[in-house]
Amino acid sequence: MEVVTLSRKGGVARLRLSRSDRSVNVLDEACMEQLEAHLGTLEKSAPQLLVIESGMPGCFIAGADLNIIQSVTDADAATRLAERGQALCRRIEALSSPSIAVVDGACMGGGLELAMSCDHIIAVYGEKTSLGLPEIKIGIHPGFGGCVRLPRRIGWPQAVEMILTGRPVDAERAHRIGLAQLACHPEQVDDAIKHLASSGKANRGRTEPWWFHIWPIRKLFFYKVREKALARFRHLDIEEAYPSVPGTIDLLEEIYGMSDGLAYAREAGSLGKYAVTPACKNLIRVFFLGEALKKQEMVRKGKPVAKELRRTAIYGAGVMGGGIAWVASRDGDVDLHDITGDALGHGMKLLAKLARRDSKRFQRIRPAMDSSGLASTDVVIEAVLEDIDVKKQLWADVESAVRKDTLLLTNTSSLSVSDQQAGLKYPGRMVGLHFFNPAPKMPLVEVVAGSKSTKKSVQTTAALAARWGKFPVVVADCPGFLVNRCLMPFMSAALQLFECGQKLEHIDGALKNFGMPMGAIELADRVGLDICHHVGSHLSESYGKRMAMPLWFDQMVEKGVLGMKSGRGFYLYEGEKRLGMNPELSQYLKLKSHREKEFDANLADQDDAMTDKKIVEACLLPMLTEALACLSEKVVDSTEHLDAAMIYGIGFPPFRGGLLHYFSTIKKDELRHSFKSSGMKLPANLEVIYE
Amino acid sequence: MAVDRKATGSNREVVVVAGIRTPMGKMNGCLEGLSAVELGMHAVRELLARSPLTRDDIDSVIIGNVIQPTDAVNISRVISLQAGIPRQVPAHTVHRNCASGMQAVTDAAEKILAGRAEVVVAGGVESMTHAPLLFHDRFRRAVAGLQRARSIPDKARAALGMLKAPWKPRIALMEGLTDPVVNLNMGQTAEILAREFNISRREQDEFSVQSHQRADKAWEDEWFSSEVMHLFAPPKYAAVHRDEGIRTGQNMEALAKLRPAFEKPLGSVTAGNSSQITDGAAMLLLTYREKAEAEGWPILGYLYDWAYSGCDPARMGLGPVYSSNTLLSRYGMSAKDMARVEINEAFAAQVLACLKAMDSKQFCTKMLGAKAAVGAPDMDRLNVHGGAIALGHPVGMSGARLVLTLLRQLKHDTGGGLGLATLCIGGGQGGAILVGSEPWKS
């Protein structure tokens, strides 16, 4: 198949990338081969001008083929891949004729590196135009010469930032920082080419600021960069989790002032090293998991209907409701309802904080205190009190005011969707849509089909969530759904460890070292102990003791020790800031801990401090058991969806590739032994994680 | 009484489908964080959300505004787009000083009568808080000189000129409230009326107390709660519903303490018996009867006829007498025939002067050419839920607010009848509009 076409007209040669087998251009084997072949022709008879452009709408080149990087297992092979790309770029650079890349659409990773090898880049204004080097996000760094060429175009400080954050820029910004020589509108592309062609081969001086040449200042700069980049990973073993982050900084610092040949060789060598790390493989896997969720069949089928939904009404202006309002205002009008002015005012204030950079979006959110506007609403989402009577009353009121095809979504975390459907006139349109806190940040949503939900409603809901930039996972209507159901045993296990005398900081620290965004006990504090207690007792009704919060938990809640919101929980808080351990804790469980220990044979031997590994194991095995139970009960469709849900919903460390994937890297016997030694039953379908 | 509505010359009957207004906030008060555009945007958005029609039904947007913000010079268009009205719907801004909001409503009605539009959003908006501070014209000239200067000595000279030019800002709000023709502040024109009609300080203060008491009671009775929307204004985003200017327990003693605001020390017009400088927006949705009935839209009330007339700029407060006489004499009626009357309370002295003029045979025969006194409305039918002295007078908005509140009174309080809304206009004009809550019957 031809993916690159070469055409000549007058003195202008055009390399046009376009393909029918994918929705975007990628630098895969076929593309590379054909580019190389065409370059051979061009080298033999150089044109006056070379233009590289894309025939795909909304995409220049989306990057290198991730599948190739995913499958590489040998560092030398990976290095050779990078060298091949580098060679290609250097040949474009070395052509005697000036070259121009017309970037209209996504231009990522290898695509941008290819564009940068041209003398000029034209960035075409458009929503989809974005230029960036996101390699760091999949655990590697630019490998086709991007680490050398980007600093040359936009200066070191900017380039280091762009490479380390992986954040893309739009056409306007690309022009401003010097990445693109010209930004223009689509109609002006021909004029822009003519304009740039007259300036011939680029002869760009270096654009670093003067201070960058001074050795100690440069050293200080990189020291600061390193400090800032690693601050987020302080608790992690960086060589295991994100080795490419310090690696990229080292690389950049080293290649400053190096001759091109050496710098390219160093870049390729370093890429080879990081491309074969498990972290890289896992991060790519996670990226694919997310993409798969966005492109799953449910989403595809619901898209046509979801596209038409414009007006959303949200009930409850709390943190959750406000967050959902922000999500929904991405591309439509939102009415935010609440009963009291105070609650609504508080919600609007939170939203205004989010809206600091996007006042247009804020203007699409209308606060409302009566049922106004419901008649023309397409979607209603409730995020009110978790009380079945309150919700049922709300739905009865709402249904009398909305059209009969309005989608009704409940953001419940513990109540059953089917229960809420009872009493509705048209229950088929009600679906659960469970967001995670904070809604604007957490990428996962659980789409819950109630017993009466129609297939079409579920599909529309999933597609709507995808439209809002979320990853929808379709789960069954069981108590706790998928994520909270798996989370509760995890939290419960951590509390048990605490009860048995492990230190708070030790438990949370071990989990953070493992890569969780926060420790289980701190998580309980942040969620709110009253809510944990409520959810725990609710879930334990259905699943038994493994979900329950310990007894002394009641006393804490009764005494108003509610976690972060009350300033004290297991830890003390000052606003959002965590201080030390709460010294009053001993009064709630001093006696308990001794007594429990005598009876609890499983944990009796854990008198002394456990190793980190043991703590993580003790917390994660119950989670794994629950996850496997969910799989066998068909709460979730596939192991991939389950892994994605854990990563995007509760922040299971992405560099470990997901809950099941992580355990699949542990040997079967070892895993069996762990189950046995912690006194847990071996899950019947343990085998699925190895499939 | 068979009435030929010759002035309108059309068979259509203009109806108001829905109306809403924001609460009114004192200058630099609770609505300080909202610009005029935002106030208008919130009101239009709320209006559309509460009415059954869709945005595609709208043919035109007309909004009145006095202190036109420099960053949104056709404020109506900016509001219209920000409120989500489709871009193909045209929008324009109208200006007739204090009657700008009423002008927008009557312009919309005329468009509908002429068959040039079917559904129009009309209203008024004002943020007096955001009236700008201006540079002196000599300062402007110096800046222009600096831009023109090429050589270094020229530049230095121009820069020096800039330093020497007056830096003290001119207050646009005060300049806007001064009539340049007779060079009198609006308050001074009220002082003239107080003197000529022999209206004492005590009478003015009593009228003001009554305005506060009526407005306060109306809020206590929740009469306003469906007329006024909630606003959540930055930076606190606390809910604002009640009009900020109303003083519960306003009394004569407190008012007596105030010093004259415009003519010290002998004047009688004070800050307490004048309308308040405020921010706010009011919006109405207009169409004609057949359309509303065919679509099944609710009808709040009807707009029958309207009139504007000119008078002495130095006595602009008497504008309502002239305009309401022009309007009502077309039908052989007087203010006494109205179930409810709203005279905008620019100043207590001004409203009282209007009432006295209407009751004065001498005034009516001489100035209006009538045979006898036209007759003033009874106090229990006039401004029954308070007026601008208590609620506030965002200049561009008040005209639309009067129509809205009057229609609601006719619908909910009197259950029918005719109403008259009239106001005085800086520069020596008066505006009046005749409305009812049911189709015009003979």
The predicted-structure confidence for A223-267, as pLDDT tens digits, reads as follows 999 999 999 898 899 999 999 999 999 999 999 989 999 999 999
Sequential DSSP letters for A137-191? GGT----SSHHHHHHHHH-HHHHHHHHHH---B-HHHHHHHTSSSEEE-GGGHHH
Residues 6 or more apart whose Cβ sits within 8 Å of residue A605: none
How many whole angstroms separate alpha carbon A256 and alpha carbon A218?
Answer: 10
Active-site annotation of B, residues: 98, 393, 424
Chains A–B, number of C-beta pairs less than 8 Å apart? 43
pLDDT at A592: 44
Sequential DSSP letters for A264-289? HHHHHHHHHHHHTSHHHHHHHHHHHH
Distance from CA of B50 to the nearest CA of A (A): 5
Contact flag A344-B52 (C-beta cutoff 8 Å): no
How many whole angstroms separate alpha carbon A589 and alpha carbon A553?
Answer: 9
Pairing status of strand A407-410 against strand A379-382 = parallel
pLDDT at A205: 57
**How does pLDDT run along chain B (442 residues), one tens digit per residue?**
334 455 556 778 999 999 999 999 999 999 999 999 999 999 999 999 999 898 999 999 999 999 999 999 999 999 999 999 999 999 999 999 999 999 999 999 999 999 999 999 999 999 999 999 999 999 999 999 999 999 999 999 989 988 998 889 999 999 999 999 999 999 999 999 999 999 999 999 999 999 999 999 999 999 999 999 999 999 999 999 999 999 999 999 999 999 999 998 999 999 999 999 999 999 999 999 999 999 999 999 999 999 999 999 999 999 999 999 999 999 999 999 999 999 999 999 999 999 999 999 999 999 999 999 999 999 999 999 999 999 999 999 999 999 999 999 999 999 889 999 999 999 999 999 999 998 876 4
Complex confidence, ipTM:
0.89
In sequence order, the β-bridge partners of residue B310 are B429
Residues 6 or more apart whose Cβ sits within 8 Å of residue B153: none
Of B50, B82, B238, nearest to A363 by CB-CB distance is B82
Q: Of B123, B215, B130, B199, whose CA–CA distance to B171 is shortest?
A: B130
Sequential DSSP letters for B276-310? --EEEEEEEEEEEHHHHHHHT----EEEEEEEEEE
pLDDT at A502: 84
pLDDT at A206: 59
**pLDDT, mean over chain A:** 91
Location of structure tokens 């309502």: B320
Statement: residue A595 has pLDDT above 70: no
Q: Of A146, A151, A125, A127, whose CA–CA distance to A135 is shortest?
A: A146
pTM: 0.89
Q: How far is CA A327 from CA A75, A333, A460, B282, in A?
A: 42, 11, 16, 31
pLDDT at A608: 64
pLDDT at A352: 92
Percent of chain A with pLDDT over 90: 74
pLDDT at A204: 64
How many whole angstroms separate alpha carbon A427 and alpha carbon A452?
Answer: 6
Location of structure tokens 């970037």: A103
Q: Of B344, B191, B363, B333, whose CA–CA distance to B270 is shortest?
A: B191
Q: Of B434, B439, B225, whose CA–CA distance to B326 is shortest?
A: B434
How many CB atoms are located within 10 Å of the residue A543 CB? 18
List the single residue in A with minimal CA-CA distance to B48.
A373
**Please, where are the H alpha helices in A402-528?**
417-421, 455-467, 483-499, 504-514, 520-527
Q: Which domains does chain A have, with CATH numbers?
A: 4-276 (3.90.226.10), 298-476 (3.40.50.720), 483-690 (1.10.1040.50)
What the block records as the tokens of B263 is 């003519």
To probe the interface with A, which of B236, B237, B241, B285 has the most A CB atoms within 10 Å? B237
Cβ-based contacts of B237 with chain A (< 8 Å)? 345-346, 348-349, 352
Q: Of B438, B328, B326, B420, whose CA–CA distance to B382 is shortest?
A: B420
Angle at A154 (CA atoms; ends A358, A249), nearest 5 degrees = 95
- What would the mean pLDDT of A393-411 be, rounded to a whole number? 95
Give the end-to-end CA distance of chain B in Å, rounded to a whole number: 5
- In eight-state DSSP terms, residue B14 is E
Distance from CA of B62 to the nearest CA of A (A): 21
- In eight-state DSSP terms, residue B346 is S
Sequential DSSP letters for B215-232? HHHHHHTTSSTTTB--EE
Q: Residue window 376-435, chain A: list those with CB within 8 Å of chain B.
A: 376
Q: Of B411, B88, B120, whose CA–CA distance to B292 is shortest?
A: B120
At A673, which amino acid appears? H
User: Residue B340, SS3?
Assistant: strand
Element of type H or E holding A249: helix A244-255
- In eight-state DSSP terms, residue B246 is -
Q: How far is CA B85 from CA A229, A336, B89, in A?
A: 46, 20, 7
Decide if B323 contacts B77 (C-beta within 8 A): no
pLDDT at A200: 80
φ, ψ at A589 (rounded to 5°): -140, 20
Decide if A121 contacts A152 (C-beta within 8 A): no
At A412, which amino acid appears? T
| A358 interfaces chain B, CB cutoff of 8 Å | no
Contact flag A341-B239 (C-beta cutoff 8 Å): yes
Q: Of B411, B408, B291, whose CA–CA distance to B11 is shortest?
A: B291
pLDDT digits (tens, 9 = 90+) for A61-118: 999 999 999 999 999 999 999 999 999 999 999 999 999 999 999 999 999 999 999 9
How many whole angstroms separate alpha carbon A188 and alpha carbon A171?
Answer: 14
To probe the interface with B, which of A339, A351, A365, A372 has the most B CB atoms within 10 Å? A372
What the block records as the tokens of A113 is 């590196």
- What would the mean pLDDT of A270-299 be, rounded to a whole number? 94
pLDDT confidence band for A578 (50 / 70 / 90)? confident
How many CB atoms are located within 10 Å of the residue B381 CB? 19
pLDDT digits (tens, 9 = 90+) for B310-348: 999 999 999 999 999 999 999 999 999 999 999 999 999
Decide if B27 contacts B277 (C-beta within 8 A): yes
Contact flag A376-B82 (C-beta cutoff 8 Å): no
CB hemisphere CA count around B192 (13 angstroms): 14
Cβ-based contacts of A348 with chain B (< 8 Å)? 232, 237
Residues 6 or more apart whose Cβ sits within 8 Å of residue A87: none
Sequential DSSP letters for A218-248? HHHHHHHHHHHHHHTTTTS-HHHH-THHHHH
How many whole angstroms separate alpha carbon A581 and alpha carbon A571?
Answer: 4
How many whole angstroms separate alpha carbon A488 and alpha carbon A523?
Answer: 11
Cβ-based contacts of A310 with chain B (< 8 Å)? none
Contact flag A342-B239 (C-beta cutoff 8 Å): yes
Q: Of B173, B435, B432, whose CA–CA distance to B311 is shortest?
A: B432
CB hemisphere CA count around B165 (13 angstroms): 19
pLDDT confidence band for A548 (50 / 70 / 90)? confident
Of A333, A345, A375, nearest to B238 by CB-CB distance is A345
List the single residue in A with minimal CA-CA distance to B233.
A345
| A367 interfaces chain B, CB cutoff of 8 Å | yes
pLDDT digits (tens, 9 = 90+) for A328-381: 999 999 999 999 999 999 999 999 999 888 888 999 999 999 888 999 999 999
What the block records as the tokens of A307 is 């596209």
Decide if B424 contacts B97 (C-beta within 8 A): no
How many CB atoms are located within 10 Å of the residue A209 CB? 12
Sequential DSSP letters for A509-566? HHHHHHT-SS-HHHHHHHH-HHHHHHHHHHHHHHH-GGGPPPTHHHHHHHTT--BGGG
pLDDT at A386: 87
| A515 interfaces chain B, CB cutoff of 8 Å | no
User: Residue B141, SS3?
Assistant: helix
Contact flag B49-A346 (C-beta cutoff 8 Å): no
Statement: residue A201 has pLDDT above 90: no
- What would the mean pLDDT of A169-176 be, rounded to a whole number? 95
List the single residue in B with minimal CA-CA distance to A363.
B82
Decide if A204 contacts A153 (C-beta within 8 A): yes
Statement: residue A545 has pLDDT above 90: no
Cβ-based contacts of A342 with chain B (< 8 Å)? 238-239
CB hemisphere CA count around A384 (13 angstroms): 21
Contact flag B49-A368 (C-beta cutoff 8 Å): yes
pLDDT digits (tens, 9 = 90+) for B278-320: 999 999 999 999 999 999 999 999 999 999 999 999 999 999 9
What the block records as the tokens of A533 is 């207690």
Cβ-based contacts of A363 with chain B (< 8 Å)? 41, 82
- In eight-state DSSP terms, residue B92 is E
Question: B interface toward A at CB cutoff 8 Å?
Answer: 41, 45-46, 49-50, 52, 54, 82, 84, 230, 232, 234, 236-239, 241
Statement: residue A26 has pLDDT above 90: yes
Cβ-based contacts of B23 with chain A (< 8 Å)? none
Location of structure tokens 């998580």: A523
How many whole angstroms separate alpha carbon A38 and alpha carbon A3?
Answer: 11
